[in-house]
Structure 1
Amino acid sequence: MEKKRNVWILSILSIIMLVLGACGQEKSSTKSADAKESDKTIRIGYQKFGTLNILKSKGELETRLKEVGYTVKWTEFPAGPQLLEALNVGSLDFGHTGEAPPIFAQAAKAPLVYVANQPANPSGEAIVVQKDSPIKRVEDLKGKKVGLNKGSNVHYLLVKALEKADLTLDDIQPVYLPPADARAAFEGNQIDAWVIWDPFLSAAELELETKTIQDGEGLVANREFFLATDTFAENKEVLKIIKEELKKVDKWIEENPKDVAEFLAPEIGMSVEALDKTLKRKEYGLEEISKTALNDQQKIADTFYNLKLIPTEVNVFDASIDVKKN
């Protein structure tokens, strides 16, 4: 009797083990399938204003990538720093920002790689004052309140403009505000000058009748960069397709600025006129990362380190897979 009971227990245990083994195998297969699916999804981050937003709306990148077995997941970000933070933690493969955010991201050890950039656009950012302000030139900013977004491209513009005027940040009163708050402070005469970039610059010029005392010409480059994780950058086939489609849409934007402005206006909450002015002022033609572009980035990195805006020195060439410093 005892023997029969033991045989019965062993039989039940065998069945349980088989079921558990099958479940484990099924779960493992599901995980493998999920991983495989994830490997075939390209996660792209974009901002409301920029080439990638238009690329997303046209849908042609998805068609190209589908031909080689990939899908695309798009995620919108309010600004470059947040986008690069997502890239840093591994939830993004590709995205775009201005010049400054990659410097901060690299200082934070983000695994980013410079992939391509738009041409320099120095007239796309400026220091502006009220149209009836007694401030006529940068030298007149001494002791004045100047609004700007801390650590952004315009922070570098302000530093270079002050340097040219034999001044430093210690000679003015910097007021660090994001664009919307800075505009409100500017309109309310709570700051004497505002350092800002397009399309906010164009909107201010048209709606507030500002006076420009210095733009980026002769001082800064003001480029838009396209970046990827170092792992994703190894996929040359996919990067080639993305860059080809970026070039196409860049050309289309150049030839149809009014159409693009009308598309973006309700999304961004800006007038068609301001966006049209921004797009017509912008330079076009996607460029491969060059030593010139990275040297300009290195100047920004060195400046920000000297200003103690980043905690460690950065060699931007470490974030390039194709361009060497020497």
Structure 2
Amino acid sequence: MKKKTITIVGVILTTLTLTACSKKDETHTAASQDKENRSEIVLRIGDQKGNMRAQLEASGVLKGIDYKINWYEFPAAAPVAEALKVDGIDLGYLGDAPFLFANANGGTAKAIAVYKSDPYPVALLVRNDSSIQSAKDLKGKTVTANQGSIGQLVTLRAVEQAGLKATDVKFRFLPPADGKLAVANGSVDVWAVWDPYTAYAELKDHFRIIANGRGLYSGYTFLAATDKSLQEQQKRKSIQDFIYRLKQSQEWATQNADEFGQEYAKITGLPEDVGKLAFKRRNASWEPIDADVIKTSQETADFYTKHKLIKQQFNVSNSFDTSFKVK
């Protein structure tokens, strides 16, 4: 009787062990398959002046990722928005105003995380010898900016705050480098731009700020993704991981401001003093998309509609995906 009992117990234990091993193997196989699938994922990411890439590479948080990243460098937000529109990239880094401007004109990308920073460096600059001292002196002047950019937004709000009309200024739409040259040679009066261009112009080109973005601009920059990339399950997982690492890199950069300022300058090719100034005055952090971000964005879109930059009322709610987390 004892032998039979032992035999039966032995069979039961063996069966349980085999079942457990089978489940473990299944889990391991699933995990391995997921990792293998992720290793085939390529995220095509559009950046501006190395902003995201500089932090990620300097902090080292990209080590060990199980997907690939192809970086695309853009001089401003407008070409980033265009690349998102035609699925030329999966993710893009761009200010709220150009993002909303693009989506109101046929774009379908979704903002999935927000970079909140001090809006001061989004500014209106003039040559040191200019007679323009403040936004009140802009009547009859010409301003260069990218169409639909945060530079144009800040200009219009500064003009309005100064008691002038939007029609009191003329816009000449040029990319940043051409805009600076136009002001330098006197063919345009004011350059509306953002860091690191602002920092470089202050420190190296002897330009001065006559109005800054505080009280005029949200300070929001979005990480936006195409609908196509968000619909691919494995790519979506990689995007979520990328957001986590963005947050980690920002925290590292904040804690190591001097070190990162030097690295930022090297990665972007900027002089060290420019890189340090551009980074330190951001006081920035990556955050999730929430109701306040959407509300503020609606106000921005309404402002553009008021000034006929957006042709008709635009509901921004479909331009956001609030499901992504930011640690």
1:278 counterpart SS class: helix
Q: Who is 2:47 aligned against?
A: 46
1:304 counterpart SS class: helix
Matches within 5 A, 1:101-250: 101-233=98-230, 235=233, 237-250=237-250
User: Separation in 1 of the partners of 2:306 and 2:39?
Assistant: 41
2:285 aligned partner, one-letter code: G
Q: Contact conserved, 1:143 with 1:172, CA < 8 A, in 2?
A: yes
1:61 to 2:59 alignment: no
User: Separation in 2 of the partners of 1:283 and 1:109?
Assistant: 33
2:91 aligned partner, one-letter code: F
Root-mean-square deviation (CA, aligned residues, Å) is 2.6
1:92 aligned partner, one-letter code: I
Identity, in percent, stands at 31
Q: Pick closer, same or farther for the CA change 1:39–1:82 going to 2, 3 Å.
A: farther
Query: How far off is 1:289 after superposition?
Result: 0.8
Q: Contact conserved, 1:117 with 1:223, CA < 8 A, in 2?
A: yes
Q: Contact conserved, 1:251 with 1:284, CA < 8 A, in 2?
A: no
| Bigger Cα displacement from structure 2, 280-289 vs 127-136 | 127-136
1:274 counterpart SS class: helix
Q: Pick closer, same or farther for the CA change 1:39–1:244 going to 2, 3 Å.
A: same
1:248 counterpart SS class: helix
2:72 counterpart SS class: strand
1:235-291 Cα deviation digits (max 9, x unpaired): 463333112100111112223344434334355443221121010100222111122
Query: How far off is 1:292 after superposition?
Result: 1.8
Unaligned runs of 5+ in 2: 1-36
| Bigger Cα displacement from structure 2, 241-250 vs 253-262 | 253-262
| Bigger Cα displacement from structure 2, 241-250 vs 74-83 | 74-83
Q: Contact conserved, 1:148 with 1:179, CA < 8 A, in 2?
A: yes
Query: How far off is 1:53 after superposition?
Result: 4.1
Give the length in aligned residue pairs.
284
2:118 aligned partner, one-letter code: N
| TM-score when normalising by structure 1 | 0.77
Q: Contact conserved, 2:78 with 2:149, CA < 8 A, in 1?
A: no
User: Separation in 2 of the partners of 1:141 and 1:79?
Assistant: 24
1:70-126 Cα deviation digits (max 9, x unpaired): 333333333322223222223322221112221133123333111111113211211
4+ residue runs over 4 A deviation: 36-39, 56-59
Q: Who is 1:21 aligned against?
A: none
1:143 counterpart SS class: coil
User: Separation in 2 of the partners of 1:202 and 1:81?
Assistant: 21
User: Separation in 2 of the partners of 1:154 and 1:115?
Assistant: 23
Q: Who is 1:6 aligned against?
A: none
1:137 aligned partner, one-letter code: S
Q: Pick closer, same or farther for the CA change 1:261–1:309 going to 2, 3 Å.
A: same
User: Separation in 1 of the partners of 2:244 and 2:145?
Assistant: 35
User: Separation in 2 of the partners of 1:147 and 1:160?
Assistant: 15
| TM-score when normalising by structure 2 | 0.77
Matches within 5 A, 1:7-22: none
Query: How far off is 1:37 after superposition?
Result: 8.8
User: Separation in 2 of the partners of 1:174 and 1:85?
Assistant: 21
Q: Contact conserved, 1:42 with 1:93, CA < 8 A, in 2?
A: yes
1:300 aligned partner, one-letter code: T
1:121 aligned partner, one-letter code: D
User: Separation in 2 of the partners of 1:199 and 1:247?
Assistant: 21
1:124 counterpart SS class: coil
Q: Contact conserved, 2:109 with 2:224, CA < 8 A, in 1?
A: yes
1:214 counterpart SS class: strand
User: Separation in 2 of the partners of 1:73 and 1:132?
Assistant: 43
Q: Who is 2:279 aligned against?
A: 279
1:88 to 2:85 alignment: yes
1:309 to 2:309 alignment: yes
Q: Pick closer, same or farther for the CA change 1:62–1:77 going to 2, 3 Å.
A: farther
| Bigger Cα displacement from structure 2, 215-224 vs 294-303 | 294-303
Q: Contact conserved, 2:44 with 2:91, CA < 8 A, in 1?
A: yes
Matches within 5 A, 1:27-38: none
Query: How far off is 1:58 after superposition?
Result: 5.7
Query: How far off is 1:128 after superposition?
Result: 2.3
Q: Pick closer, same or farther for the CA change 1:242–1:265 going to 2, 3 Å.
A: same
User: Separation in 2 of the partners of 1:221 and 1:241?
Assistant: 26
